[in-house]
Amino acid sequence: MADYRKTLIVKPGAAVRLHDLDPDEHGGRANGADVAEELAEAQRRIGDLQLRLYAERKQSLLVVLQGLDASGKDGVCRHAMSALDPEGTTVTAFKEPTKLDLAHDFLWRVHPHAPAVGEVAIFNRSHYEDVLVVRVHNLVPEKTWARRYDLINDFERLLASRRTKVIKFFLHISKEEQLSRFRQRLEDPTRNWKIAESDYLEREYWDDYAAAYEAVLEKCSTADAPWYVIPSNHKWFRDLAVSHIVASTLEDMGPGYPAPTVDLGEIRRQYHRAVAEARGEAPGKKGKR
């Protein structure tokens, strides 16, 4: 079994050139059917470990999803994360900031959505938009967004100090694959609602976004909060790799069921007494005829 945490991680301080990373990579697997059992096993592990995490309530997990339009962020939430119990899971999609958001520091709208102990939080887009979109479209001066890399690292370090493990996924697709997925949105009535005018306008900034993402990956992949570049032209491989990394991360966190807070011996006695009463066999009562 491949260890995708080793093969897909961005090592802290490493230079990243996205054009050297093949978005069509699929680990030598044939197709989705070829990995169905492996994916199901990874999701079983996620479900079991999340239940332990929720019961333990000592630590938490934050999963950050980033990628260009149509890279599969929603798909990862629906498929790779499908084993997560809604109780104990939150998903936040960060859209264009509101006037109220802009009246505060750029992390103001993000911090309230960080996971509480026992929770798994998923960010569909995230605080990284403030060093991506704002850079590409010159929404703030360079001296402003350039300072944010360190502030983001400090923010994620703060989360780590509170036993929140942060893992971040960049869903890497090719320009050709993006156009193919845009065509599917046009041809499939059930996907028409996903079409936005900005989709094609943003394609004009493809190289600028690539440069912005390379800076993010180089400056903000840390031991506390690593980045993984997930080849995502093949949706089934994307889901497999993400599921493996999430499951392995949870295993390393080692959540366990807490000790009971009640006297189990007394609870058992109460249970057996209740059963006897239900049967009409409680002491001092005649049994049913």
Domain residue limits at 191: 4-258
What pLDDT does 16 receive? 98
What is the pLDDT, as a whole number, of residue 1? 65
139 and 159 assigned to the same domain: yes
Q: What is the DSSP string of 62-108?
A: EEEEEESTTSSHHHIIIIITTTS-STTEEEEE--SPPHHHHTS-TTT
Do 24 and 110 reside in the same domain of the chain? yes
pLDDT for 32: 87
Q: What percent of the chain has pLDDT over 90?
A: 90
Q: Is the pLDDT of residue 87 over 90?
A: yes
Sign of CA dihedral 111, 67, 20, 197: negative
- Looking at the fold, whether 34 and 68 belong to one and the same domain comes out as yes
Q: What is the pLDDT of residue 286?
A: 52
pLDDT of residue 196: 83
| 271 and 182 part of one domain | no
CATH number of the domain at 51, please: 3.40.50.300
- Same domain, yes or no: 233 and 251: yes
How many CA atoms lie less than 13 Å away from 279 in the CB half-sphere?
9
Q: Are residues 278 and 160 in the same domain?
A: no
Q: In this structure, are 206 and 81 located in the same domain?
A: yes
Number of compact structural domains in the chain: 2
Q: Residue range 227-244: average pLDDT?
A: 97
Q: Please report the pLDDT score of residue 285 as a whole number.
A: 53
My answer on whether 169 and 270 are in the same domain is no
Q: What pLDDT is stored for residue 284 in this prediction?
A: 54
266 and 279 inside one domain: yes
Least confident of 108-112, 148-152, 185-189, 227-231: 185-189
Together in a domain, 248 and 281 = no
- Binned at pLDDT 50, 70 and 90, residue 31 comes out as confident
As a whole number, the mean pLDDT across the chain is 95
Q: What mean pLDDT is predicted for residues 58-78?
A: 97
Share of the chain above pLDDT 70, in %: 97
Residue 289: pLDDT above 50? Answer: no
Residue 82 in this model has a pLDDT that exceeds 60: yes
Does residue 28 sit in the same domain as residue 136? yes
pTM: 0.94
CA-to-CA separations, 53 to 21, 116, 211, 273, in angstroms, rounded: 34, 11, 37, 33
Q: Tell whether 106 and 246 lie within a shared domain.
A: yes
166 or 190, which is more confident?
166
Look at 195 and 170; give whichever has higher pLDDT: 170
195 confidence band (pLDDT: 50, 70, 90): confident
